Chain A
Amino acid sequence: MPGDNPFLDPQRFERRIEPCVVVIFGASGDLAKRKLVPALYRLAYERRLPPGFAILGVSRTPLSDDDFRAKMKESVQKYLENSPFDESLWNEFARGLFYEAGDIGNTASFVELGKRLDAVAAERNTSGNVLFYLSTQPSQYGPAAAGLGKAGLAKQDKGWRRLIIEKPFGHDQQSARELEVSLHEFFAENQLYRIDHYLGKETVQNILAFRFGNPIFEPLWNRNYINHVQITAAESIGVEDRIQYYQDAGALRDMIQNHLLQVMATVTMEPSAVFEATAVRDERAKLLRSIRIWKPEEVMENTVAGQYGPASIAGQNVVGFRQEPKADPKAKTDTFAAATFFVENWRWADVPFYIRTGKRMPKRVTDIAIRFNSVPHSLFKTMSDGEQIETARPNVLVLRIQPEEGISLRFSSKQPGAGMTLRPVSMDFNYGSSFGVRTPAAYETLLLDAMLGDATLYTRQDMVEASWSVVQPILDTWAARADDPFPNYDAGTWGPKASDEMLARRGHTWRVP
């Protein structure tokens, strides 16, 4: 074997993607048109795609290659974010777009797909490398993997074969295991790329840069200095057209089981020795396995389920979840979920991590607030109504994921004028606008990484299992409730009262993001 390529210059050359075909199952669906194809087009715009590159769309709807190209052109023009559309580049890109009608439930479709793949590979010179993307309903992941496997399409004898799946990875612990068995029947773990688009967000990656690239914070990053952590992922919208899926899933499954536990792991994991897929994922997985699992009798005290009811928001009447079109009027869906977690290791023992997520909250925001301890001894008091009031407020470091990505630190400063009264001020770093350049969308980063074979930002099976172990007892206890507490918060508020009470039990309050 010849050695490394001495001509490479990693400081200047982009990592190269080998020629390949991306097969999108569910090509006529929402995700493909809103996110996947625009992200791939954008990569072409950035000259990141190799000359031998193709997309082969698959779904049941019959479409010609040209129909598919026309549909995708329309969506790229519509959904391309922060980027111009270039007609001549599109024409070049569209030459690599193909479509094959096929049904995941039908074995013959995979045989046809194999033949079509060979033809596309020959036409585009892609030498057998294929990335399969399952952008279909989760119930089809198992059958699709099996169909590919039985048709011999998972074999890596002519080039690499990788499979991307979208969350949810199972509906509960049991189905997650079943899914794992069916995926692993034909695909090895290192061929599987489980997407968690939160991990692809530039600002989530920046958490690692912030923690492990700035030694001044690391000494403070533990139970000795941090009082508690609050993670909020709020949406102002309702369920929109995702009701079918959401009604069965709920907020705990939809957001906490995957994204927010991953974010928590990013904030709390130990530094890995190197920034490589296995090492980083080992640390993440280790952290997820260290989260205390609540016993059934502890669940209600440490978690809160909520569902929004009708309300008037800024003069507009908004329906409750049960009144949403196509919703079950007795649905027990949690549209809000909050939980207290503890990480059982030396660094984090006894530090509460409060996570909340919900729909129809006052605003769309995702952030992580790290609340440091109060001053050990107060010097700066002021008298009010015969009472001594401490004016130094605890420091809070906020890592903002969206929408205004950045970092801010609250600290106390002297109020101008006579006396020694302190007031909190915020020091702000705005990620996107500080650099004034476009940050890549999560799907661009993740697709690029999968084509490069870099799984650092992808979820591994042991992480999926560890998160289910944390979430399953909560789901079980909630499901076993005899009463019907819903709805228990008004649309447009920060969730049920019980959520405030959960924090109050430990002397804390939710901040207003």
Chain B
Amino acid sequence: MATAVQPEKILKELANLWVDLAKEDSAKSANGVIRACSMTLLIASASEEDAESAAETAAELLRAHPGRAISLRFQTSGESVLESRVFARCWMPYGQRQQLCSEQIEISASMDRLADVYAAVLGITVPDLPVVLWTTTPSLLFRPEFAEMLMLARTVIIDTAKLPDTCLALTRVNELFQQGWRMKDLNWSRLTVWREAIAHVFEHDSWRELIPLIDAVTISHRGTTLSTDVCYMAAWLGARLPAAKIIFINGAENVDEGVQSVSIAAGVRHASVSSSESGRLAIDVDGKQHQVLMPPQTEQALLHEELSIAGRDPIFEQALTGAAKYSGAPNV
């Protein structure tokens, strides 16, 4: 079993790969392969299952966000290993004549070899382009020895829905944010469609006039503790509705985790957004109802949304800082 990973060797393998691809392709057509790159995406997983599904997601994702994907598979037990392989994923974009390829590098390592992985990755990230770290096994962020890996990236993507303890999760994400990382949480992206529906209610002048008078917001959710998306929603609403008391209630058990409905009330006026069966959101504004289709909330779609925001995301940052205080909030 290989025990060393040399950046020069990996880069050489990559270069050869492109030469081979170009040859292969020119034999088939005169159009050539296109090499495109907008970032390095580091994918860190600590289980085979996470790594496999992340690799598939990344392959899809790279179509819209071309880049070099480096898949880091950490083995938390067993013998000491460090090995790598290089390959390309190619596809023919819809309606195009040219193949589009993205490079992928896979590094498998045991946790005792983290320092070596760090050194290797440092040598193979694409120069001058952003480095994004997606931790598909979020518990990695809590391991002290993983701290060095974080130094490789400016942006860190996590899905706090995968973490059992909301309070710990929000504390850690906030900590990293305070230390200067640009944090992105897929459990925040899940709220976009909800937030958009709520924003739409306030497109009406009469609802914007009500803002100072809105005294109650009720968030219904599943489970006995609040999940991170519920806390984010509370923080986001709380920051915009200064007079509102935020009340959490336990909703039905037989539905998905997280936010189930949001009701906003000011005297006799009332608006609510709730998830209904068959992937729709039901919106009720002063008794008038309509439904909107929920866009697919696959991991790939959520990541795509996050990667499409190139700079800072002040609205999320505000919700993130505000969310912590709700993580221990009582249910009614």
| Residues of A in contact with B (beta carbons under 8 Å apart) | 1-3, 5-9, 11-13, 16, 47, 51, 81-82, 430, 432-438
Contacts and interface: CB of A to CB of B under 8 A. Distances in A.
A13 B96 contact: no
Contacts of A6: 202, 211, 240
Contacts of A437: 63-64, 93
Contact of B309 (A12, A82, A434, A435): A12
B208 A3 contact: yes
Contact of A5 (B91, B199, B309, B313): B199
A433 B96 contact: yes
A303 B93 CA distance: 41
Contact of B293 (A3, A13, A47): A47
Contacts, number: 78
Contacts of A5: 199, 202-203, 208
A8 B313 CA distance: 13
A8 B199 contact: yes
Given A7-B240, A9-B315, A51-B292, A438 B94 contact: yes
11 contacts: A5-B208, A7-B199, A12-B192, A16-B200, A16-B203, A433-B93, A433-B100, A436-B36, A436-B64, A436-B66, A437-B93
Contacts of B200: 16
A432 B63 CA distance: 11
Interface of B: 34, 36, 62-64, 66, 91, 93-96, 98, 100, 192, 195-196, 198-203, 205, 208-209, 211, 240, 290, 292-293, 295, 305, 309, 313, 315
A47 B193 CA distance: 12
Given A5-B202, A11-B313, A430 B94 contact: no
B34 to A, nearest CB: 5
Q: Binding site of A, secondary structure by majority: helix, strand, loop or mixed?
A: loop
Query: What are the 5 A-B residue pairs with the smallest beta carbon separation, nearest first?
Result: A2-B208, A7-B199, A436-B63, A82-B95, A434-B36
A430 B93 contact: no
A411 to B, nearest CB: 18
Contact of A13 (B91, B192, B313): B192
**From A3, A435, A438, residue with most partner B Cβ within 10 Å:** A435
Contacts of B240: 6-7
**From A82, A436, A438, residue with most partner B Cβ within 10 Å:** A436
Nearest to A10: B315
Nearest to B96: A433
Nearest to B288: A125
B309 A11 contact: yes
Nearest to B305: A12
B293 A438 contact: no
A16 B196 CA distance: 10
A289 B63 CA distance: 43
Contacts of B95: 81-82, 438
Contacts of B94: 82, 438
B290 A51 contact: yes
Contacts of B198: 7
Contacts of A434: 34, 36, 66, 100
B208 A433 contact: no
Contacts of A438: 93-95
B202 A436 contact: no
A2 B205 contact: yes
B225 to A, nearest CB: 26
A9 B195 CA distance: 9
Contacts of B64: 435-437
Nearest to A52: B290
A432 B96 contact: yes
Contacts of B195: 7, 9, 12-13
**From B34, B62, B295, B309, residue with most partner A Cβ within 10 Å:** B34
A16 B202 CA distance: 13
Contacts of B196: 9, 12-13
Contacts of A436: 36, 62-64, 66, 91, 93, 100
Contacts of B192: 9, 12-13
Given A47-B293, A435-B64, 16 more contacts: A2-B211, A6-B202, A8-B199, A9-B199, A12-B305, A13-B192, A13-B199, A47-B295, A51-B290, A432-B96, A433-B34, A434-B34, A435-B36, A436-B36, A436-B62, A438-B94
Nearest to B310: A11
Contacts of B292: 51
Contacts of B313: 11
A82 B292 CA distance: 25
A430 B98 contact: yes
Given A6-B202, A9-B199, A435 B34 contact: no
A473 B200 CA distance: 52
Contacts of B63: 436-437
